[in-house]
Structure 1
């Protein structure tokens, strides 16, 4: 089920075309620029309410309803897990082993579902512009955000999704029970793009699985890139955001900045014309992003900081200047800065001077290109490709009927047992009882001794 059906049919692949859902999403695209770069607390609230609403719209689609009503059986179900809890109903309906896929990489939510140990001391919340080495105040706020996310999930999001679950998947148990039966979680991350983190046996890194060997570029695009002696700066807002929806003042900043550069600019622009376009700027409604990034003349990638885009840049060794909008993009660019492959500039701070300075810094300082190539080598140095690894583990789950042997026993524990609160309370109780008992015995002994002495004194007087 996808909003992007295959253009060329595949023999053993059936598309459930959800492109109508993509149209609904795009109708709200302009509103996105009104809520970007907001305070992280507001971002968490907005993401939960927004994606919950989108999940409801998805399940209401006639195409989805027809699919659910059809009589089908599946050996395995793979669902996206990012705040789309009600999707677990598909696993329940078809009574199949369940694999979740985290497009945003490792998060507290993904970890909680499979009892993966995760600590706010060094793993930032995905909406924060932090990397693993946080100072005291960052660790404090990161811990606060973890608590906020837990509260938001259990007090708002899960109740809403449980309502959807009962409406569209009658008889399904609580979502948390369905999460306990997850066979495998595929994580869209890799140590070349994210800091190292603990992963339990049924969590598998597959960051970069969407990257394929470069294809031949269209002739006009190939000639344009080949003939750019000073190199090319590639600018794209990805597939979820459109450049044409940028406010006019931000668009003018980009045009003025690009016009001052000696490099050519390749800009993904979703219309035929771009008013005020400088002579060194080439626009195109659609560009094969990963194939373009593979060209040796691409010197810089200006991106919104989406995980797929940053992963592609790392894979091809291209330095980054990021203009994050919301969600995990801040963290992705914080990781890029930490790895020395680029710089980030928050959308609301975007000015001509700041953008020009960052572009010139990344283009002229060779350390960024060096670090980008180094990270590319790390990503490519794997015994199998991320896609091959993902396929292996999916088939592994099928071969082993859900691979329950990978499931942690921690999932069988209540939260107070997992945190050892019952043990801690027991130890404290024993210590208190021991202390009180000893104190009582000592006082009794001292009191008895005093009485004995007093009796002895009285006898001597008599």
Structure 2
């Protein structure tokens, strides 16, 4: 008996699209919890879909997960939480640069010195794909090269300055935002000057202080690793934790895929006391948090007083992530805690605004739930996130240098306006409207690279020399042609003038001779 054509078609489709379990290695040598918090749901989902996932991390799973194995780096580095003061300055920017380079080279040494990591290459372990965090070090690319597997890059933020060239993303300070700096796509002249200086300093520092040091460390273990920048250009796909709805439109090549939002989980029930505080808020709730790396309690007292005075004058209740037991002053409308379930709070319909440092995780959760933001960026990607957030219509920003009670109240008045909040809800709807979910997109491209390991989509701009990229040779030709034309024209003019002069002299002599003859 013959099977109906439709059944045959369905069965064929199932067998063709059946996913073969992959052996996947994830390399996350940076000790920032907020970074790994983004990647963890993606790694767990890979395991849940049947892939064998081995993860090198400072944050091993407390409860074992099927198909998920950890290689722990815990204890080799100080975890980064609550270390940065809430104060924006050029000194902070410099210290962040020093910190990034220093931790990156230290992470490389700790990664390669780990016995279980060494077993991977000594046992010639086979992996279909290696997932590598692209942040403050390229050392993991050397490990991936030794293992002979194609690489997928991951970020929990926008691209770092030294990552633009390797992916063929044009840096133009007139409209391309730069990590660490504000200005968005419409920077002032001063902000453009800032961008050029910071971009070149950070690129130079990364090349000579980070990559050269990491290459030296790799040579202690391997003798056949190419230059790290060459390996970086060979990354098959880069999963960037952005989305153009929120982060703005960028001229990304095909190998860069935006997957912003896959870390946002389904909201869980709130603790009873916190739920009661939010439910009973007649005018809604404002949520205040400056993230895990910033220490809210380090806020200068004059700035903290400006913040608390502004919040106390609003009719809304306030939930404030605060590391100490008490908040200076007596504020009955403010609920404080050193830990808060941020995503679950933002998901509550009674939460009407978010006062934030504009870290990408919190900003993503805010647009996911349609909560407007008053952003106060301090360091890292926060200034560029805040600028993009404001340009998108998601909220407004205020700088610490201009922070006063009156100014902050003005900002809250804007985002608490019903029409502004309605626009944010519409923006959230657009953000959600995609052909596939962020998680499905990330998983698809992971499996795609495993299916097509030998294909690398390198934009031609990566290998174009500097003088060709900026068309300096073309400009030189035009200048040369202009100069030649100028001198030829000058020569001809001089020649004509000489002939005319000779004719004038000849005529004058002829006239003189005629007068003498007469």
- CA distance, structure 1, for counterparts of residue 301 and residue 58 of structure 2: 29
Structure 1 residue 163, shift from structure 2 partner: 3.1
| Counterpart contact for 1:158–1:175, Cα < 8 Å | no
> Residues 5-404 of structure 1: matches in 2 within 5 Å?
5-20=60-75, 23-26=78-81, 29-30=82-83, 32-33=84-85, 36-39=87-90, 44-61=93-110, 65-72=114-121, 73=125, 74-106=127-159, 108-134=161-187, 138=188, 140-170=189-219, 171=223, 172-247=225-300, 250-270=303-323, 276=329, 278-363=331-416, 365-404=417-456
- CA distance, structure 2, for counterparts of residue 335 and residue 383 of structure 1: 23
Instruction: Note closer, same or farther for the CA distance 1:3–1:256 as it changes in structure 2 (3 Å cut).
Output: farther
Structure 1 residue 316, shift from structure 2 partner: 0.6
TM-score of the aligned structures, taking structure 1 as reference length: 0.85
| Counterpart contact for 2:295–2:323, Cα < 8 Å | yes
TM-score of the aligned structures, taking structure 2 as reference length: 0.76
Instruction: Note closer, same or farther for the CA distance 1:129–1:149 as it changes in structure 2 (3 Å cut).
Output: closer
1:432 is aligned to 483
- 3-state SS of paired residue (2:238): strand
- CA distance, structure 2, for counterparts of residue 106 and residue 284 of structure 1: 33
Structure label with greater radius of gyration? 2
- CA distance, structure 1, for counterparts of residue 94 and residue 211 of structure 2: 18
Partner deviation per Cα, 1:10-62 (whole Å, 9 max, x = no partner): 22222333443673434xx44x227x3114xx555333222101212323437
- CA distance, structure 2, for counterparts of residue 178 and residue 437 of structure 1: 51
| Counterpart contact for 1:255–1:277, Cα < 8 Å | no
In structure 2, stretches of 5+ residues that fail to align are: 1-55
| Counterpart contact for 1:124–1:142, Cα < 8 Å | no
| Alignment coverage as a number of residue pairs | 450
